[in-house]
Structure 1
Amino acid sequence: MRILAFFAACLFTAGALAAPPGKPAPQSFLDKLLGQLKTVENAEDAKPLETQILAAFLNSGSPSIDLLMGRASAALTAGNKDVARHLYESVTSIAPHYAEGWHKRGLMQSEAGDDGAAMVSLQKAVELNPRHFAAMAELGEMLEDYGDKAGALKMYRRAIALDPQYEGLQRHIDGLSREVEGQGI
């Protein structure tokens, strides 16, 4: 599943590119990266920018939360999904306004087969961070799988507006727009 592969890639690359723990990326830095992301011409050129943006989303502004997120990532790397899941749940309990905690929690819930909870967590991540194109795409994929084609199309369009090169989104949008909106004459 694309969600799990993307999640694994983020775990291994995000730490090296993020701002120092406890220091969230300045909005101007994110604005600049998101602006650059809209101008690249291919998915290959978009990948480093996507990675930097997703790494910036990891920084909570709280050394304690960043430590818990780091430990959850290490637990996942070590194959201890139960510990990681517990840590992500702790993060969302302690810092309910931290979008990336909800994003990671949603990915863990999806992997565990708890799709209903995963969709709620991913929706919360999108509400808290309306620029989180990865959470939007992942939520769109789940909505599409469950037959909410209009909801999926909406999420995909929001994600592609932020990241025009996001892998596979245009294909989903093209297919769903014909199904949801019909075909022009």
Structure 2
Amino acid sequence: MRLLFALAVMVGPVFSSAALAQECPAPADVSAELEELFDQAQNAEDFREGQAASDAMWKVWLRAPDDAAQAVLDRGMAARGSFDFVEAYAQFTRLTEYCPDYAEGWNQRAYISFLREDYAAALTDLDRALELQPRHVAAQSGRGLTLMNLGRIAEARRQMLEAVGNNPWLSEKALLAKGAPLGLEGEDI
């Protein structure tokens, strides 16, 4: 009996991972919901309203396609929150393998790569996230920051302008100010 239990514990994750990869449903179409939130952000009259729209966007992005994906996302977020970037990266990799069409899995893995200063890997994952969800503001701003760290300032500026165009309440907007790293050409430090 103990041998069977030990075997099940060792082999179970292999089978469940393989089974999960075939069962992830397509992510819900959230484009109309996000479009409304972009409008709210762009028409917000103050920080409180703008932040409420931004927070609501995050709730949409962090809504995984099913309970299994949500559990993996939540474990990755918890690991990231405790600065266990190795475990967070492993969880987000599992999520991208299980749900390759879920943009937030790629965005979160990119963020871990960014924090680890692996900007090339971050950029690859951000590009995939944006293929899946072109107006994913967090991926857009993350891509702008990644490009900036790669020294690709003109591209970074364009990407950040696009992100801020979708959500003018992003804190990264400060990077576009006069004298800031992504400030308008001719106005850089």
TM-score scaled by length of structure 2: 0.74
* Structure 1 counterpart of 2:147, one-letter code: L
Residue 93 to residue 23, structure 1, CA distance change in 2 (3 Å) = closer
Question: 1:178 maps to what in 2?
Answer: 184
Q: Aligned partners of 2:144, 2:30: CA distance in 1, in Å?
A: 28
How far 1:57 sits from its partner (Å)? 0.8
Tell me if the contact between 2:126 and 2:143 (Cα under 8 Å) persists in the aligned partners: yes
Tell me if the contact between 2:141 and 2:159 (Cα under 8 Å) persists in the aligned partners: yes
> Is the partner of 1:38 in helix, strand or coil?
helix
Deviations 1:6-27 (A, max 9, x none): xxxxxxxxxxxxxxxx984744
5+ residue gaps, structure 1, are 1-21
Alignment equivalent of 2:140, drawn from 136, 154, 157 = 136
> Is the partner of 1:75 in helix, strand or coil?
helix
Alignment of 1:67-78 (within 5 A): 67-78=71-82
Q: Aligned partners of 2:132, 2:153: CA distance in 1, in Å?
A: 23
Tell me if the contact between 1:88 and 1:101 (Cα under 8 Å) persists in the aligned partners: yes
How far 1:118 sits from its partner (Å)? 1.0
Q: Please tell me whether residue 105 in structure 1 is matched to residue 103 in structure 2.
A: no
> Is the partner of 1:124 in helix, strand or coil?
helix
How far 1:29 sits from its partner (Å)? 2.6
Structure index of larger Rg = 2
Tell me if the contact between 1:160 and 1:170 (Cα under 8 Å) persists in the aligned partners: no
* Structure 1 counterpart of 2:53, one-letter code: L
Question: 1:31 maps to what in 2?
Answer: 35
Q: Please tell me whether residue 40 in structure 1 is matched to residue 35 in structure 2.
A: no
Relative to structure 2, which stretch is displaced further, 139-148 or 94-103? 139-148
Tell me if the contact between 2:119 and 2:149 (Cα under 8 Å) persists in the aligned partners: no
Percent identity, aligned pairs only, is 25
Tell me if the contact between 1:103 and 1:125 (Cα under 8 Å) persists in the aligned partners: yes
TM-score scaled by length of structure 1: 0.75
Question: 2:98 maps to what in 1?
Answer: 94
How far 1:177 sits from its partner (Å)? 5.9
Q: Aligned partners of 1:127, 1:43: CA distance in 2, in Å?
A: 30
- Tell me how many residue pairs correspond in the alignment: 160
* RMSD, aligned CA: 2.4
Residue 80 to residue 153, structure 1, CA distance change in 2 (3 Å) = closer
